[in-house]
Structure 1
Amino acid sequence: MERRWCLLVLAATAAAGLPGVRGTVEVMKDVTLGFGEALEHCREQSQLTEEMMEEFYHFWREDFKFEARAVGCAIHCMSRYFNLLGEQQRMHHDNTHKFIQSFPNGEVLSHQMVGIIHTCEQQHDAETDDCWRILRVAECFKRESQAQGLAPSMEMLMAEFIMEADV
C-alpha cells in the first residue's frame, strides 16, 4: 500500500509539473544547448577553426581538452551575447539566474549553477587574460558539474542535435 501511495504521489507531482520532477541533467542539457546557440555568432570573432568548432560540441566528454585560447574567447563572446558578464568581465549573477531560469524548470538548477560558476571564477580570478580565465572557469565548471552528477551525457546531447537537425 505504501509503495502504491508513493507512486501515486510521484505521478501527481509529475502531472502538476513541479520543478523538482524534471531531472537536473535534463535542465543542464537544455541550458547547454541554449547557450550553444551563440556559438556560430561568435565563431569568427573568437577565431575558432572548423576543427575547434567541431571539438566544441564535445565539451561534456571526459576527454575534452581545454587547451585552445580561442575556445575561451568563444565562451567569453557567447557569455557577452547573452549578457551574462558584468563590466569586470565576470559573471553577472542576476542575468545568469534569469538566463538559466528561462529554460523549462531552470529554477531547479539556477542557484547551483551560479554557485559553481562563482566558485570557479574565484579560483581563477588572478588570470588577467579574459579568454584564458574563462576557459579555466569553464573547465572547473565542467569538472564540478560532473562531480555533482549534473552533466548531460554525450549520448543525450547527440540525440538532441539529431532531433533538432530533423526539424
Structure 2
Amino acid sequence: MADSTVSRWRRFALCALLVAIQVKKSESSADIMQKLTIGFTEALEHCKKDLQISNEVMQDFYNFWREDYELVNREMGCVLMCMAARLDLVTEDLKMHHGNAHEFAKKHGADDTMAKQLVTIIHECEQGAASVPDECARTLDMAKCFKTRIHELKWAPSMEVVLEEVITELKN
C-alpha cells in the first residue's frame, strides 16, 4: 500500500512538473509575441503619416490582441500591409517573405521552432484568405486568422503591457 501511495505521489509530482513547464513555455511565448508586436509597430509611425490613419484604425491597434475584440475595418488591413512592407516581410507580389518573416521572429526572441511555427501560421492564414480580391481586406482576414490562432495557442500578449511599451518607445 505504501508503494502505491508513493507511486501516485510521484505521478502527481511529474504531472505537476509537466504542467509548470507548459505554463512557463506559454508565458515565454506570450513574451516573445509581445516583443514581436512591439517590433512590428515600429513601422506604424511611417505608415501613419503615409496613409492618414483614422482614429478607428488606431483603436483597432490598441485592441488588437483582445480576444473579444473584432477586427472589421478594411483600413486596418491597409495599414498592416504597409507595416509589413516597411519591415520587408512581404515580397513584391504582396505575399509573405518566409525567410524575412522567420528572421524577424528570431530577431525578436523566437527560437527556430517558434519562428517556423509562426511562419507556418501566417502562411496558412495567407492561403485561407487568398480568394479575397482586395489586398487590404485580404490582409485584414489574415490578421484575424493569425490573431485567432495565437489565442488558441495561448501566446497572445497582454495588450496593457504592449501599449505601455509602445508608448514608452514613442516618447523616446
| TM bin (shorter chain) | 0.7 to 0.9
Structure 1 range deviating more: 65-74 or 139-148: 65-74
SS of residue matched to 1:126: coil
2:79 alignment partner, one of 74, 78, 100: 74
Amino acid at match of 1:77: C
Query: CA 1:152–1:89 in 2, change beyond 3 Å: closer, same or farther?
Result: same
Query: CA 1:67–1:105 in 2, change beyond 3 Å: closer, same or farther?
Result: closer
Q: Which has the higher helix share?
A: 2
Separation in 2, partners of 1:57, 1:28: 15
Amino acid at match of 2:85: R
Separation in 1, partners of 2:110, 2:73: 33
Hey, what does 2:112 align to over in structure 1?
107
Alignment of 1:15-164 (within 5 A): 23-161=28-166, 164=169
Displacement of 1:156:
3.0
Separation in 1, partners of 2:27, 2:155: 12
Structure 1, unpaired ranges of 5+? 8-19
TM-score, scaled to structure 2: 0.77
SS of residue matched to 1:109: helix
The count of corresponding residues between Structure 1 and Structure 2 is: 152
Hey, what does 2:5 align to over in structure 1?
none
TM-score, scaled to structure 1: 0.79
Query: CA 1:166–1:69 in 2, change beyond 3 Å: closer, same or farther?
Result: closer
Separation in 1, partners of 2:152, 2:123: 16
Query: CA 1:38–1:165 in 2, change beyond 3 Å: closer, same or farther?
Result: closer
Q: Are the aligned partners of 1:79 and 1:85 in contact in 2 as well (CA < 8 Å)? A: yes
Structure 2, unpaired ranges of 5+? 1-9, 18-24
Displacement of 1:154:
1.9
Q: Are the aligned partners of 1:61 and 1:154 in contact in 2 as well (CA < 8 Å)? A: yes
Hey, what does 2:6 align to over in structure 1?
none
Give % identity: 38
Query: CA 1:21–1:65 in 2, change beyond 3 Å: closer, same or farther?
Result: closer
